[in-house]
Amino acid sequence: MIFGRRAEKRAPLLTFERILVPIAGTIADEPALRLTALLLAGGQGQALLLHVIEVPFEQQLDAEDAGAIAFADEVLGRGEGILAEREVQVRTAISQARAAGAAIVDEAVEQGTDLIVMGLGYKKRFGGGWDAGRTVPYVMRNSMAPVWCLRAETEDLAQTR
């Protein structure tokens, strides 16, 4: 058996400088924010909270919806508060787009994001099967940065046949 000198302290395996957290104002946001706080705890990293306002095709993309903007401000404020109380540096952004997935991927590229952390609600589609929606699969397929998804807790149980 060979014993060597104790190795110098190793750098943590999971270090991130910029984490993008898309938040929608659902119960799935909080687990993503808690994980982000854990990953950035004690570090120099920064979280970017992004809320995407999806604009229907029958409206102009730059049309302002005061209600949607007020909701976005409220959601981002709650998220910012959760991270700030854990002493995580936070920036917030609102984006208007036709589809949230594309806006998230574009923002991740523009900001040089190291990681995207997304909450995922537990939804059932017609017929009872679980459905991830369209945003999360789009981001997972198209993001150059790693994507971590946390499904929100649920009382519903998966039905297998």
Asked if residue 7 is part of any domain, the answer here is: no
In a domain, 1, yes or no: no
Q: Does 157 reside within a domain?
A: no
Looking at the domain assignment, is residue 5 inside a domain?
A: no
- Indicate the pTM of the whole model: 0.83
Is residue 91 one of the residues assigned to a domain?
yes
Q: String of b and e for 7-43 (b: at least 16 CB within 10 Å)?
A: eeeeeeeeebebbbbbbbeeebbbbbbbbbbebbeee
Residues spanned by the domain of 123 = 18-151
- For residue 158, tell me if it sits in a domain: no
Q: What is the CATH number of the domain that holds 120?
A: 3.40.50.620
The answer as to whether 90 is a domain residue is yes
Confidence at 132, pLDDT banded by 50, 70, 90:
confident
Question: What's the mean pLDDT in 37-52?
Answer: 92
Q: How many domains does the chain have?
A: 1
pLDDT in tens, 47-78: 999 999 999 888 888 888 899 999 999 999 99
pLDDT of residue 145: 95
